[in-house]
């Protein structure tokens, strides 16, 4: 059974919420990636989402774009990231999710990318610019490799679209909570509560909310209506500032929630 499925089964038994931090691979140098994954596991992260630096990250806001540029300036490549994950996998047990775009996968070679990701111990993959109409390009390879393709729904997705997306896969459903790119938000759209409740009614998969969540209070508020959160820009910013204490506090704020 895939590590992602096992992780969510454990959370369900404990009646706990998920916290998935996003980090940019190679921000501060690729040697930082291993120690950050180990650190996040020690803080209680449910899984780690690892962003691959890319020149045209259409879903990413200023904080993650800047981190990606820093990583690209360090010469970080997708192949080097997968090798680093391979090196860290023997010492961490939490699921590892890779977030990338289609262009780097095409450049790498679809079959080769998924084969190397599987060897490295990657458990899931998020590809924001891959619509479900085109995912058959990759899906058979993912299924053979036992890597979950994590799909996204948005505030503008129709119920029919949500039902179609939610019927696929066994990992989790990623509910985007803003109508735009990643980055911290002071407040959320008035419809977010109903939006998340609606997805929970439709989906048999765990539902995680992401984009814009940057404080413990926001994480706890949003988690009331779904199965947990993904936090990216704030984690990236705190790592850049080497503020590890705040990262730990943010993760543990979810773990201390009363369900």
Please tell me which residue in 16, 27, 60, 116 is annotated as part of the active site: 60
How long a stretch of residues is the chain? 259
Q: Which of 16, 49, 148, 227 is catalytic?
A: 49
Q: What are the structure tokens assigned to 249, written together?
A: 């506090």
Q: Cα–Cα distance between 18 and 16 in angstroms, integer?
A: 7
Residue 148 annotated in active site? no
- Which element (helix H / strand E) includes 66? helix 62-73
**Rounded to an integer, what is the distance from CA 196 to the centroid of its chain?**
17
Exposed / middle / buried, residue 230 (Cβ in 10 Å: 0-12, 13-18, 19+):
buried
Instruction: Assess whether 146 carries a catalytic annotation.
Output: no
Bridge partners, 173 (sequence order): 151, 207
Q: Which residues are catalytically annotated?
A: 49, 60
């Amino acid at each position: 059974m895939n590590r992602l499925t096992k992780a969510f089964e454990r959370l369900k038994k404990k009646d706990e919420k998920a916290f998935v931090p996003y980090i940019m691979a190679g921000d501060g140098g690729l040697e930082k990636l291993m120690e950050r994954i180990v650190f996040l596991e020690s803080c209680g992260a449910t899984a780690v989402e690892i962003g691959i630096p890319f020149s045209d990250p259409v879903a990413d806001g200023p904080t993650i774009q800047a981190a990606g540029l820093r990583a690209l300036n360090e010469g970080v490549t997708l192949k080097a990231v997968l090798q680093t994950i391979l090196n860290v996998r023997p010492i961490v047990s939490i699921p590892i999710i890779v977030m990338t775009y289609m262009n780097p996968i095409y450049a790498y070679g679809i079959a080769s990318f998924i084969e190397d990701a599987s060897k490295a111990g990657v458990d899931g993959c998020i590809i924001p610019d891959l619509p479900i109409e085109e995912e058959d390009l990759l899906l058979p390879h993912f299924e053979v490799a036992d890597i979950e393709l994590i799909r996204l729904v948005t505030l503008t997705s129709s119920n029919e679209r949500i039902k179609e997306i939610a019927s696929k896969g066994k990992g989790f459903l990623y509910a985007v909570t803003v109508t735009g790119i990643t980055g911290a938000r002071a407040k959320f759209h008035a419809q977010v509560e109903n939006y998340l409740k609606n997805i929970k009614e439709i989906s048999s998969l765990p539902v995680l909310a992401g984009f814009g969540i940057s404080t413990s209070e926001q994480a706890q508020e949003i988690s009331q209506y779904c199965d947990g959160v993904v936090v990216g820009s704030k984690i990236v910013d705190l790592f850049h500032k080497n503020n590890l204490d705040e990262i730990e506090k943010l993760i543990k704020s979810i773990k201390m929630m009363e369900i």
